[in-house]
Amino acid sequence: MTLTEVVAGVLEVDPAEVTDESGPETIGTWTSLRHLQLVVTLEEVYGLSFVFEEIRDVRSVGELRTVLRAKGTETR
């Protein structure tokens, strides 16, 4: 499952709407609760853990991708 698919699925948006610039300011359903569900889903899908600071500070799909890459996970 790609990052785009996970983001689109959790946030209930069309995958075509998801870009690296997408974030709470551009996707209306990206609330704080959905943000956490997104993080927890990514943890399960990719078998990794986010630390509190990462959960708190990540504000866009591109930043999520960067965090995943730093943990050794490349995803589209």
Task: Name the site residues for another protein (rule: CB under 8 A).
Answer: 1, 9-10, 12, 32-33, 36-37, 39-41, 44-45, 50, 52, 55-56
- In terms of Cα–Cα distance, which of 31, 25, 54, 53 is closest to 42? 54
- Of 52 and 74, CB closest to another protein: 52
* CA–CA–CA angle 55, 57, 12 (5° rounding): 60
- Nearest approach in angstroms of CB 65 to another protein is 19
Closest CB to another protein among 13 and 66? Answer: 13
**Minimal distance in Å, beta carbon 38 to another protein?**
10
CB of 70 to another protein, least distance (A): 18
72 Ramachandran zone, left/alpha/beta (phi>0; psi -120 to 50): left
